[in-house]
């Protein structure tokens, strides 16, 4: 696992598969709730993602999904109103590695899961990811800009 500083969406534009941290909550019309962080950024860039992820959640539950366009979901919490859980993050790590193996992906970029708006501390989350992620996986922290030093999505 590599730790990098940069821009998640620049990595995406350069061909990497990117994971967006998600939850399992649906709106009344069956769309995934993508309120903050990189999930919100993905929703704003690709307005059909809430519908695509919502269908997967409805049919299969809260899992890692290939959402197309080199974007994958990475569940970290039950819903956006609860704290992220290390057990959910660990399950997502296992599933993401399996999916990367199956798809033959060579570079997968993941924001620090649960460490932005979720409130988990990186020194607690890092060992979980290190148990699963190999050299194909890059954990990214947002590049310093103005007052947003070291922020995550």
Q: CATH number of the domain that 23 lies in?
A: 3.40.220.10
Distances (CA, A) of 129 to 6, 34, 51, 139: 19, 23, 28, 9
Q: Which residues of 116-132 are buried (b: 16+ CB within 10 A; e: fewer)?
A: bbbebebeebeebbeeb
Would you say residue 150 lies in a domain? no
Q: Look at phi and psi of residue 143 and say left if phi exceeds 0, alpha if psi is from -120 to 50, else beta.
A: beta
Q: What pLDDT score was predicted for residue 17?
A: 98
**Low pLDDT (below 50) residues in the chain:** 146-153
Q: What pLDDT score was predicted for residue 148?
A: 44
Q: What pLDDT score was predicted for residue 151?
A: 46
Range of the domain at 93: 2-142
Would you say residue 102 lies in a domain? yes
Distance CA 105, CA 87 (A): 24
- Among residues 2, 77, 7, 3, the alpha carbon closest in space to that of 41 is found at 7
CA dihedral (136, 2, 112, 93) positive or negative: positive
Distance CA 74, CA 124 (A): 18
DSSP string of 73-142? Answer: EEE--SSTTS---HHHHHHHHHHHHHHHHHHT-S-EEEE-TTSSTT---HHHHHHHHHHH--TTEEEEEE
Q: What pLDDT score was predicted for residue 145?
A: 53
Would you say residue 147 lies in a domain? no
Would you say residue 151 lies in a domain? no
Q: Any idea which residue has 């994971």 for tokens?
A: 19
Would you say residue 153 lies in a domain? no
Would you say residue 149 lies in a domain? no
Would you say residue 86 lies in a domain? yes
Q: What pLDDT score was predicted for residue 137?
A: 98
Q: Could you give the number of structural domains in the chain?
A: 1
Q: What pLDDT score was predicted for residue 144?
A: 60
- Give the model confidence (pLDDT) of 77-115 as tens digits: 999 889 999 999 999 999 999 999 999 999 999 999 999
């Amino acid at each position: 696992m590599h730790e990098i500083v940069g821009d998640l969406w620049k990595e995406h534009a350069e061909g990497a598969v990117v994971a967006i941290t998600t939850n399992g909550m649906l709106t009344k019309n069956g769309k995934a709730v993508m309120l903050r962080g990189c999930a919100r950024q993905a929703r704003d860039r690709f307005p059909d993602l809430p519908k695509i992820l919502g269908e997967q959640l409805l049919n299969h539950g809260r899992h890692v999904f290939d959402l197309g366009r080199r974007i994958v979901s990475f569940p970290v919490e039950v819903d956006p109103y609860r704290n992220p859980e290390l057990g959910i993050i660990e399950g997502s790590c296992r599933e993401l590695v399996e999916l990367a193996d199956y798809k033959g992906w060579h570079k997968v970029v993941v924001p620090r899961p649960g460490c932005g708006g979720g409130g988990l501390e990186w020194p607690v989350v890092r060992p979980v990811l290190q148990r699963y992620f190999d050299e194909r996986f890059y954990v990214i922290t947002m590049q310093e800009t103005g007052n947003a030093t070291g922020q995550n999505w």
